[in-house]
């Protein structure tokens, strides 16, 4: 029982794997662009009463972009706990 693997079989398998990875890459790159286009189209064609209700500004980012820096909140002074002793009478 001798198993022979042909070079063309390995080549075809490699091409199929690269094709699947290319499809995944294209989906990851173009999905945010399509979502941004759809959001712009919806904002333009949405009735005025819904525009006011929706509010909420957000942006569509690619999975390869870094997340935005969090906004710095003014530091609030933390109060220390005060321990009170009972008065002896």
User: What pLDDT, in 10s, does the model give residues 37-74?
Assistant: 888 888 787 776 665 555 555 667 777 778 777 776 66
Alpha helices (H) in 46-75, listed in sequence order: 48-54
- Percent of the chain predicted with pLDDT > 90: 22
Phi, psi angles (nearest 5°) of residue 43? -65, -35
pLDDT over 80 (residue 89)? no
pLDDT value of position 11: 94
Record the pTM: 0.48
């Amino acid at each position: 029982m001798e198993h022979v693997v042909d070079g063309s079989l390995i080549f075809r398998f490699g091409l199929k794997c690269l094709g699947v990875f290319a499809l995944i890459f294209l989906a990851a790159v173009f999905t945010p662009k399509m979502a941004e286009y759809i959001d712009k189209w919806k904002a333009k064609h949405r009735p005025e009463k819904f525009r006011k209700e929706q509010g909420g500004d957000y942006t569509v980012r690619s999975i390869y972009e870094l997340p935005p820096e969090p906004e710095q909140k003014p530091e609030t002074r933390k109060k220390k706990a005060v321990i009170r002793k009972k008065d002896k009478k």
